[in-house]
Structure 1
Amino acid sequence: MLDPVLPIALYLAFGYLFKIFFKDNSKELVEFVIYFSLPAIVFAKIYPLELTYETLELIFMFNTIILGNLLLSYFAGKLFKLDKKTLATFMIITTFGNTSFIGFSYIDSFYGQDYVVYALIYDLFGSFLLLVSLGMIIINWGSGQHVNFKAIGRSVLFFPPIIMFFITVLAKPFDIPVFMMNTMETIGATLVPIAMIAIGMKLELKNLFYKLKLVTSAIIIKMLIIPIIVLIGFQIFYNLDDTWSKTTILEAAMPPMTMAVVLAIKGGLDERLAINALVLGVLVSLVTVTGFYYLLA
């Protein structure tokens, strides 16, 4: 029953134990994923994909889900009467899900690599773009900093998977040699184990009970309430038997995003709150995401 999710748990354990007994190489592993694994999987999945009007509809839908998540987290934070810095941190950890590293891992484990393309579109044109634009505005607002739109634009344009996306679109009219496609698929296949081992190395259990009530609220909103709302919406307007619907619901159920936590820390928000949400979210996702998978099945 747990066969698809057990490798993910093992990768996390391997990374955590390696850090405890040897050293933390998560920075190097994350850089490999960003500069090699992610661009490779973008090319391998986007090149054969026919970009149609339906693709734009998917992007619009994914962004609507994330923005709805953001509004819910804002009103929940106001209900808790949080100060500006804590509210900004709460919004970031409650809104932006780990739709790449962890999201791809779950989708690959449950549905296979062919359906990672939906998670890829959700992540690149939903989670990532909104994080480095609207997310950075929230971070700067919460920490009292000036919003640097030029830096935000640079971070979008020079993000390796985004660069590879445009290269892939330009390459579509041409025949790509088989060896190149095989190479891209092989490198792309390293994403799941390396990303999860890196996240295992980032796990910090010492802050597990810091602002636990607030972290629990963020996790409930992000990983239970939002995917349930999406599930109900899809049940009314779409077909839940379609695998793309299932991948969308699972992506909406992902734990807080690693990159969002890193940016929140760099931006001067509540570091311990952000890290605690990341750690607990990853651990809880082993149960909740698996639960949604079997519910949808």
Structure 2
Amino acid sequence: MTNLYLVVLCLLIGIGLQWVSSLPKDAPKSLNTYLIYVVLPALALLYIPDTELSLDLLLPVLTAWISFGLSWLLFANLGKRMGWSKATIGCLIIVPGLANTSFIGFPIIEALYGEEGLKIALMVDQAGSFIIVSSIAIIVASLYGQGKKRKRDITKKILTFPPFLFFLIALSMNIGGWHFSGTIHEILSAFAATLTPIALVAVGLQVKIKSDTISSPHLWIGLGFKLILMPAVIFLAYRFIAPPESLIYKVSVMETAMAPMITGSIIAINHDLNPKLASLLVGIGIPLSFGTLVIWNLLVG
């Protein structure tokens, strides 16, 4: 529960800091840059080398890929029909398409299903959400961002994107049976521990809840997809594949039902994909998800 209190507190601190006049206007962007270039690579090097790869975990891992695929399919077509801007479409594909499977997902899954559930959640995050946000989300951001991008430019952006580059290094370490220990492990852990507070403070700095923003149909369509539609898809589809009483099934549904991923919002904001909407999807989605998660937990038993 401590992690959940931390999430809410950091979000409120970020919102409160908006009233500090001496705070630089580009503070959120600076914090996001630190997260992308330092914290996310540290997370990759810390966890992926020690992650046990298993075919049994393919089903929960696939939930992240299914969610992002359906998000891209739905919002690309709906946005085109409704005449939404490319920036809004890109934002809705990326942010609601990715679940907060780590620092919100991990403590909730561990509290509900213990260490065995946490092991499954770790694979969903590392082999699903983390790979997507480090690669495919960058493709979407490039396609829907400002200006026309060449395929060569998009490929270069992915290959030079620090989290993706360090993911490849960490995956190679996993295959080779290498991992960091001692002082290096402690340093990586220290950087990784800053993800939750800094990311949420950055989001809080950009959340401006007004009547015109809270009534935005884009916001509620995105949150409806993330918190209701996608968990319902996995809830119904996976009942025919995995035993409903199994941890595989329960964790798959619950991880899909998590709030939008903060890292996804960072990608959207850094590519100027409707930053206000990206911040609201996370800023409102996180507290709102605490209520919807209770309902999904009752449904999966």
TM-score higher than 0.5: yes
In the other structure, the counterpart of 1:164 is 170
The corresponding residue for 1:250 is: 254
Q: Look up the equivalent residue of 1:166 and give its one-letter code.
A: S
User: 2:298, 2:156 → 1: CA distance?
Assistant: 44
Secondary structure at 1:268 match in 2 = coil
* Whole-Å separation in 2 of the counterparts to 1:170 and 1:78: 45
Report the Cα offset of residue 281 of structure 1. 1.0
1:165 to 1:220, Cα distance in 2 relative to 1, 3 A? same
**Which structure 2 residues correspond to residues 58-77 of structure 1 after superposition, within 5 A?**
59-60=61-62, 62-77=64-79
Contact 1:99 1:127 in 2 (8 A): yes
CA distance in 1 between counterparts of 2:296 and 2:43 reads: 27
1:138 corresponds, among 137, 140, 164, to: 140
Name the TM-score, length of structure 1 as normaliser. Answer: 0.77
- Asked whether 1:150 is paired with 2:152, we answer no
Q: Using a 3 Å threshold, how does the CA distance of structure 1 residues 196 and 220 change in structure 2: closer, same or farther?
A: same
Q: Is 1:216 matched up with 2:224?
A: no
**2:260–2:282 CA contact under 8 A, matched in 1:** yes
TM-score (structure 2 length as normaliser): 0.76
- Alpha-carbon deviation of 1:33? 4.9
User: Using the alignment, how far apart are the partners of 1:65 and 1:157 within structure 2?
Assistant: 21
Q: Which runs of 5+ in 1 are unaligned?
A: 1-5
Residue 188 of structure 1 and its aligned partner are, at CA, apart by: 6.4
For residue 104 of structure 2, give the secondary structure of its aligned residue in structure 1. Answer: helix
Q: Quick one: distance in 2 between partners of 1:205 and 1:107?
A: 27
Secondary structure of the 1:94 match is coil
Counterpart contact for 2:71–2:92, Cα < 8 Å: no
Segments of 5+ residues of structure 2 without an aligned counterpart are none
Answer whether contact 1:208 1:280 (CA < 8 A) is retained: no
The change in CA–CA distance for 1:294 and 1:267 in structure 2 (over 3 A counts) is: same
Partner of 2:291: 287
The yes-or-no answer on 1:230 pairing with 2:234 is: yes
* Per-residue deviation, residues 176-213 of structure 1 (Å, max 9, x unmatched): 99xx59x969x86996x754433442324424552632
Q: Are 2:90 and 2:273, in contact at CA under 8 Å, matched by a contact in 1?
A: yes
CA RMSD of aligned residues (A): 3.5
Q: What are the superposed Cα offsets for residues 243-262 of structure 1, whole Å, 9 maximum, x if unpaired?
A: 12211112211222222211
Please give the alpha-carbon distance, in whole angstroms, between the structure 2 residues aligned to 1:256 and 1:91: 11
Q: Distance in 1 between matches of 2:72 and 2:268?
A: 15
Shift of 1:26: 6.0
Give the whole-Å Cα distance in 2 for the aligned partners of 1:131 and 1:250. 19
* Structure 1 position 222, deviation (Å): 1.2
- The farther-off stretch of 23-32 and 201-210 is 23-32
Q: Residues 62 and 199 (structure 1 numbering): CA distance in 2 closer, same or farther, change over 3 Å?
A: closer
Give 3-state SS (helix, strand or coil) of 2:135's partner: helix
- 1:117 maps to which residue? 119
Letter of the structure 2 residue corresponding to residue 14 of structure 1: L
Helix, strand or coil at the partner of 1:95: coil
Structure 1 residues 124 and 14: alpha-carbon distance in aligned structure 2, compared to 1, 3 A threshold: same
**SS of the counterpart of 2:95?**
helix
Task: Name the CA shift for 1:239/1:263 in 2 (closer, same or farther; >3 Å).
Answer: same
Give 1:3's aligned residue.
none
Moved more, 87-96 or 74-83: 74-83
Size of the aligned set, in residue pairs, is 281
2:5 is matched with: 10
Percent of aligned positions that are identical: 20
Aligned 8 A contact 1:264 1:274 in 2: yes
